[in-house]
């Protein structure tokens, strides 16, 4: 079983403090009669770049209403669209402004903005073959008919436009900027329009698209072109910013591209919680529990696989208590990269699971507690496809990254 494979990691148990924090309802708040401490938030780096919105279907026309249920989606609708990024960014901007005026919160800076620089060819090659890079780089020179034909041939697995690869390079380069920022020993001062002061943080929230964790070394798939998290991990190792990296992927789909890029790397511990059912099938049809790594990295690839949908807060809490948090506590990473898919949320068009925004907050908070305050953390957006759901979930994750209780959720 998965647990027996990883029994050598059970040197330490999750502390009672972690378990208590996870078991308390994350939406609970003290009664009015209880005094509250004055909260001092830790700012986070926030990465966003409008140029990533330019990746869209060649015949894209924004619908008047985005679908709330899979029954409302026709065969031509693309679920990975620019609006995903826009609605999340707007919500986080609203959150920043609102927190500035909360009377019991002491804060000068909420976000320290980061802008994307495109990843170079050398950097993309940390995760992908040169032939794959060159093939995708040619997208910018193709005409409409060629791009449309390629998109039709992919059968909604991925679509192409002239800006697709540039957007993917921005996403990857943005994560490299996040790694540089959170791993830097020097404090920086930035202005964000919401408030600015000299502040230091080792946490970043990266709003990036197209997503990346399905992109394999020589193949784009699952809306993904470049596995930005793998590029970031390999970059951190190559530049000696980290030597012991953990990648935690809670997107409901297996990060097969991330596994492809790290399966033999003894300096990266990948933990992925997702759906996997070889009989009924669930995209991308990979991520079996017995795939545990290869060579010197054997035992460093954990697939925590649900055999069916409908998994909710209770099931995820059990998985975190019994497996994921103890492994993180024992591994002691010096950099944590979170592939933050939001498609396990209740109401997602593709995920079929039932996590609440409150649990995304609890899951993030417990993960940060497990690795400790001194560990740099980059939380990068992956999947999540219902426009009314993803802002709630990403706001909850960001509140946890800020060290802010869930009761401040809008």
Predicted confidence band of residue 368 (pLDDT cuts 50, 70, 90):
very high
Q: Band of the pLDDT at 71, cuts 50, 70, 90? A: confident
Report d(CA 88, CA 196) in Å as an integer: 22
Q: Give the Å distances, CA to CA, from 87 to 66, 170, 319.
A: 12, 19, 30
- Please give the average per-residue pLDDT across 372-376, as a whole number: 96
Give CA separation, 381 vs 67, 112, 384, 390, in Å.
20, 17, 9, 10
pLDDT, residue 102, reads: 77
Per-residue pLDDT at 32 exceeds 50: no
- pTM score, two decimals? 0.89
For 135-144, what is each residue's pLDDT tens digit?
Answer: 999 999 999 9
The answer to whether the CB of 204 falls within 8 A of the CB of 181 is: yes
365 neighbors 402 (Cβ within 8 angstroms): no
Report DSSP state, residue 127. T
> Does residue 106 surpass a pLDDT of 90?
no
The DSSP H or E segment spanning 306 is strand 301-306
**Residues whose CB falls within 8 Å of the CB of residue 281, separated by 6 or more in sequence, listed in order:** none
Residues 274 and 303: beta-carbon distance below 8 Å: yes
**pLDDT-based confidence at residue 199 (cuts at 50, 70, 90):** low
Task: Give residue 252's pLDDT.
Answer: 98
Mean pLDDT of 376-389: 97
| Share of residues in the chain with pLDDT > 70 (%) | 86
The answer to whether 297 and 264 have CB atoms below 8 angstroms apart is yes
- Which alpha helices (DSSP H) does 239-307 contain, by range? 256-262
Least confident of 237-246, 273-282, 383-392: 273-282
Assess contact for 353 and 253: CB atoms under 8 A: no
pLDDT in tens, 117-158: 999 999 999 999 999 999 999 999 999 999 999 999 998 899
Set out the domains of the chain in order of their start, with CATH numbers: 46-59+84-184+200-408 (3.40.800.20)
Over residues 148-177, the mean pLDDT reads 95
Q: Give how far the C-alpha of residue 345 lies from the chain's centroid of Cα atoms, to the nearest Å.
A: 13
DSSP state of 13: P
| pLDDT score, position 248 | 98
Check if the beta carbon of residue 178 is closer than 8 Å to that of residue 378.
Answer: yes
pLDDT bin (cut points 50, 70, 90) of residue 290 is very high
Looking at 128, 214, 253, 361, which residue is catalytic? 214
Question: Quick one: average pLDDT of 158-187?
Answer: 94
Cα separation of 146 and 143, whole Å? Answer: 5
Helices (H), 56-139: 83-100, 121-124, 130-137
Q: Quick one: pLDDT at residue 308? A: 94
Q: Specify whether 253 is catalytic.
A: no
Do you find a cis peptide bond into 210, omega within 30 degrees of 0? Answer: yes
């Amino acid at each position: 079983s998965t647990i027996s494979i990883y029994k050598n990691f059970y040197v330490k148990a999750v502390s009672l403090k972690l378990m208590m924090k996870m078991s308390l309802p994350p939406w609970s708040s003290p009664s009015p009669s209880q005094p509250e401490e004055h909260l001092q938030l830790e700012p986070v780096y926030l990465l966003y770049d409008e140029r990533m919105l330019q990746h869209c279907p060649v015949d894209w026309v924004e619908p008047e209403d985005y679908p709330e249920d899979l029954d409302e989606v026709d065969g031509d609708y693309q679920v990975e669209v620019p609006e995903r990024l826009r609605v999340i960014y707007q919500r986080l901007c609203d959150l920043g402004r609102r927190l500035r005026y909360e009377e019991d919160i002491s804060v000068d800076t909420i976000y320290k903005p980061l802008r994307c620089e495109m990843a170079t060819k050398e950097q993309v090659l940390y995760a992908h073959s040169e032939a794959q890079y060159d093939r995708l780089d040619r997208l910018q020179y193709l005409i409409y008919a060629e791009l449309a034909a390629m998109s039709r041939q992919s059968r909604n697995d991925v679509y192409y436009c002239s800006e697709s690869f540039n957007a993917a390079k921005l996403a990857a380069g943005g994560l490299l900027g996040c790694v540089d920022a959170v791993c830097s020993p020097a404090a920086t001062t930035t202005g964000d329009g919401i408030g600015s002061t000299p502040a230091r943080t080792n946490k970043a929230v990266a709003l990036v698209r197209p997503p990346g964790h399905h992109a394999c070394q020589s193949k784009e798939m699952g809306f993904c072109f470049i596995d930005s998290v793998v590029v970031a991990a390999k970059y951190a190792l190559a530049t000696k910013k980290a030597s012991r990296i953990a990648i935690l992927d809670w997107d409901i789909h297996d990060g097969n591209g991330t596994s492809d890029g790290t399966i033999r790397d003894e300096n990266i511990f990948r933990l992925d919680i997702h759906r996997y059912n070889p009989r009924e099938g669930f995209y991308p049809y990979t991520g079996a529990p017995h795939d545990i790594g290869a060579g010197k990295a054997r035992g460093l690839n954990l697939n925590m696989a649900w055999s069916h949908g409908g998994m909710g807060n209770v099931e995820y809490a059990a998985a975190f208590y019994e497996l994921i948090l103890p492994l993180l506590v024992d591994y002691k990473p010096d950099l944590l990269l979170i592939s933050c898919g939001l498609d396990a949320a209740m109401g997602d068009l593709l995920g079929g699971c039932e996590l609440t925004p409150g649990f995304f907050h609890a899951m993030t908070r417990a993960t940060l507690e497990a690795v400790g305050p001194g560990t740099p953390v980059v939380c990068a957006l992956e999947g999540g496809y219902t426009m009314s759901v993803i802002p709630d979930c990403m706001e909850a994750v960001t509140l946890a990254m800020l060290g802010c209780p869930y009761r401040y959720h809008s």
